[in-house]
């Protein structure tokens, strides 16, 4: 708890950042669907954010070494605020694609600052639990953001303005924090291969998480609209997938700090796969089964990134946390670029339920890979 107390300003900035980012992600998907944009175009707008995120990963270590963590955070938060204001002023799918690309680039740097800072302040004995607390902040901020859609509606500028306010206020806590920011990364150049050599499981895991978790969170509004659900049910559907991450986030982190992390990762992946199959085969148009199914899916799949990140950072030395974080975010973003676009295309061909067939298949492949790694390398 003493270590967490010193991280309160950082976690406060993370909460505001995640609230603003979570709100604009849901808002743009809902607004695009209500404007009549086809699913493939909504998938393109969504994928452009993650493409920008992946591109931002290439420059994270360079920025942090050149100007430091706090200045990099301030610059990217300001640019991201400007993009969401412009998106609210001009409703155009191609402009939104460009703006989401820029926003993704900025958010890659912002998340890297927060996560490398967190990992530099804790040791392996409490790493996964600390990252679980960070995920609690993420989940709480994103959950609260979902309810603003039915409260204010998605057709006015109000929600774009609220998102911009939250993003700009995220500058305040981290700017007023003490000066104990992490040391600059040792590796100036972005190095995907370094993470692969350190932990191939973490690389594949983050890619798989990007492929699956971003699908039902970014395309959830489209899924709900195609099933005929209103904004209130859509908000509950999206919130259920986020709130549920609280249920098993800390227990999984607790056990992975004491056991072979790969065993816990396998349990979480198997649970997510079964939840996806429930949604695909049995949920139908039932509001209760859809919300219950996505609740279970989020409970098992949301903790996976934290555990994969902890698994990789267990092997990091001083000055290497930013390098590993940048690579982890890149693998996640690469999966997030492919996942929503591919899932949106599949939904256009086979209907909304096929989204969960896609997530189940991806989780099954990752489960098989994790078992293979467990047999090849000691924990």
What whole-number distance in Å separates Cα of residue 65 and Cα of residue 71?
Answer: 11
Nearest CA-CA partner of 114 in 133, 95, 98, 140: 133
Candidate ranges 137-151, 171-185, 261-275, 335-349; pick with highest mean pLDDT: 261-275
The model's pLDDT over 58-71, given as tens digits with 9 standing for 90+, comes to 887 788 778 777 88
pLDDT band of 241, cuts 50, 70, 90: confident
Of 322 and 88, the one with more pLDDT: 88
Q: Which pLDDT score is estimated for 181?
A: 63
Q: Which of 4-18, 267-281, 314-328 has the lowest mean pLDDT?
A: 314-328
The model's pLDDT over 11-58, given as tens digits with 9 standing for 90+, comes to 888 899 999 988 888 788 878 877 888 877 887 888 888 889 888 878
Angle at 212 between CA 375 and CA 40, to 5 degrees: 145
Mean pLDDT of 248-256: 79
Is 3 a residue whose pLDDT tops 70? no
Percentage of the chain beyond pLDDT 70 is 89
Of 42 and 359, the one with more pLDDT: 359
Q: Which pLDDT score is estimated for 318?
A: 61
What is the pTM for the complete model shown?
Answer: 0.72
Q: Which of 314-323, 335-344, 360-369 has the lowest mean pLDDT?
A: 314-323
Q: Which pLDDT score is estimated for 274?
A: 96
């Amino acid at each position: 708890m003493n270590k967490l107390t010193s991280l309160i300003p950082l976690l406060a900035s993370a909460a505001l950042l995640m609230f603003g980012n979570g709100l604009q992600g849901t808002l743009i998907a809902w607004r695009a669907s209500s404007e009549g944009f086809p699913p493939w175009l909504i998938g393109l707008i969504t994928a452009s954010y993650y493409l920008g995120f992946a591109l931002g990963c290439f420059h994270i270590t360079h920025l942090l070494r050149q100007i430091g963590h706090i200045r990099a955070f301030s610059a990217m938060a300001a640019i991201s605020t400007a993009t969401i204001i412009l998106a609210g002023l001009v409703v155009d799918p191609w402009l939104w694609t460009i703006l989401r690309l820029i926003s993704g680039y900025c958010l890659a740097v912002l998340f890297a600052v927060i996560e490398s800072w967190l990992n530099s302040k804790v040791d392996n004995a409490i790493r996964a639990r600390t990252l679980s607390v960070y995920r609690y902040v993420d989940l709480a901020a994103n959950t609260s953001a979902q309810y603003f859609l039915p409260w204010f509606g998605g057709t006015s500028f109000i929600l774009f303005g609220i998102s911009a306010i939250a993003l700009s206020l995220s500058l305040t806590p981290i700017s007023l924090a003490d000066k104990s920011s992490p040391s600059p990364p040792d590796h100036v150049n972005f190095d995907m291969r370094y993470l692969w050599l350190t932990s191939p499981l973490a690389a594949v895991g983050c890619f798989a998480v990007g492929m699956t978790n971003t699908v039902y969170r970014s395309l959830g509004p489209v899924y709900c609209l195609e099933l005929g659900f209103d904004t209130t049910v859509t908000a509950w559907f999206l919130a259920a997938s986020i709130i549920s991450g609280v249920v098993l986030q800390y227990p999984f982190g607790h056990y992975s700090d004491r056991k072979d992390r790969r065993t816990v990762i396998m349990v979480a992946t198997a649970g997510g796969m079964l939840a996806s199959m429930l949604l695909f085969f049995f949920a139908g148009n039932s509001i209760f089964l859809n919300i219950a199914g996505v609740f279970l899916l989020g409970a098992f799949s949301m903790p996976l990134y934290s555990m994969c990140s902890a698994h990789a950072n267990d092997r990091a030395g001083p000055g290497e946390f930013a390098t590993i974080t940048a690579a982890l975010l890149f693998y996640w973003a690469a999966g997030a670029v492919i996942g929503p676009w591919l899932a949106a295309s599949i939904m256009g061909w086979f209907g909304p339920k096929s989204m969960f067939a896609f997530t189940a298949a991806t989780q099954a492949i990752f489960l098989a890979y994790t078992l293979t790694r467990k047999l090849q390398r000691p924990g």
